[in-house]
């Protein structure tokens, strides 16, 4: 479990994100220096699905990735998230677009309310830092994926280069809380202050190599990793063993 979350990561995540939905998309882009859109596009680009197929987007938040998946694939998208207030904003987005191809469910990534092999592809974003057992969560995500289906993810990362790591450390510990507070109020200041130490702590306990091993242990093959934006983000993808 990532440092700073405590013994109940689900409760922590709910409390952390409850105050964020109204401006989540705008501020998320600002605080990632505009990189989140590139990262999402890179992840969605690995999803091989089409009309008549189904894709599960886990930790869907305000449905940004779910809508990108819908636009890119034409598949039926199911978005699941722990936080009800995030899903309320997502529903308003879908209503504004008259979007009928994205369906929202409230639930836990660690215990998905779907049968084995229910989806042609599964995506998840910014998830594993908020669960007690990342490896078990990856196995649960793979459980609902059909053999031959694609699993793809997006997460923050820590730049490996010493210079960019120092810049990243200064940004996440200094600029991020200040910018969050000025643009989004106390809730975003708190998230900005939390985020850098949480990311660092996560990778001390769960480096990318161990996450790749967790994917392979869950039955994923051809696992790929792309470090993006000088190391600030990481996209992963793989194919579930077996015939689709």
For residue 165, being part of any structural domain is answered with: no
Residue 244 inside a domain? The answer is: no
Residue 69, domain member (yes or no): yes
Residue 1 lies in a domain: no
Residue 123 lies in a domain: yes
Question: Is residue 171 in some structural domain?
Answer: no
Q: Considering the domain boundaries, does residue 122 fall inside one? A: yes
What does the pLDDT read at residue 19? 55
Per-residue pLDDT for the chain (244 aa), expressed as one digit of tens each?
444 455 556 665 555 655 555 556 665 666 677 788 899 999 999 999 999 999 999 999 999 999 999 999 999 999 999 988 889 989 999 999 999 999 999 999 999 999 999 999 999 999 999 898 999 999 999 999 999 999 999 999 999 999 999 998 988 888 877 776 776 677 767 777 778 888 999 999 999 999 999 999 999 999 999 999 989 899 999 999 987 5
User: Measured between alpha carbons, how far is 92 from 221 in angstroms, rounded to an integer?
Assistant: 37
pTM of the model: 0.87
Q: Residue 17's pLDDT is what?
A: 59
Nearest to 69 by CA among 80, 91, 54, 90: 54
Total number of domains constituting the chain? 1
CATH number of residue 99's parent domain = 3.40.50.150
Residue 94: domain span: 9-21+33-159+207-239
Q: At what angle do helices 36-44 and 24-31 cross, to 10 degrees?
A: 100
Residue 147 lies in a domain: yes
Task: Give the pLDDT score at 171.
Answer: 85
């Amino acid at each position: 479990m990532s440092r700073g979350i405590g013994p109940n990561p689900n409760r922590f995540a709910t409390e952390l994100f409850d105050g964020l939905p109204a401006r989540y998309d705008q501020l998320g882009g600002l605080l990632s220096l505009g990189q989140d859109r590139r990262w999402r596009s890179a992840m969605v680009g690995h999803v091989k699905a089409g009309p008549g197929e189904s894709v599960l987007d886990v930790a869907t938040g305000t449905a940004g990735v779910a809508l990108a998946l819908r636009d890119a694939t034409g598949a039926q998208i199911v978005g699941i998230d722990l936080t009800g207030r995030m899903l309320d904003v997502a529903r308003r987005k879908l209503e504004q677009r008259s979007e009928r191809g994205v369906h929202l469910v409230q639930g836990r990534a660690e215990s998905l309310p779907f049968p084995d092999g229910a989806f042609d592809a599964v995506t998840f974003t910014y998830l594993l830092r908020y669960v007690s057992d990342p490896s078990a969560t990856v196995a649960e995500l793979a459980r609902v994926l059909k053999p031959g289906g694609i699993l793809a993810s997006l997460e923050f990362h820590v730049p490996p280069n010493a210079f960019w790591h120092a810049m990243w450390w200064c940004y996440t510990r200094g600029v991020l809380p200040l910018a969050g507070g000025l643009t989004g109020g106390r809730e975003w200041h708190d998230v900005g202050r939390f985020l850098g130490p949480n990311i660092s702590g996560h990778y001390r306990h769960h480096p990318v190599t161990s996450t790749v091993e967790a994917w392979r242990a869950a039955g994923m093959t051809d696992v790929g990793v792309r470090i993006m934006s000088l190391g600030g983000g990481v996209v992963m993808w793989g194919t579930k063993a077996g015939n689709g």
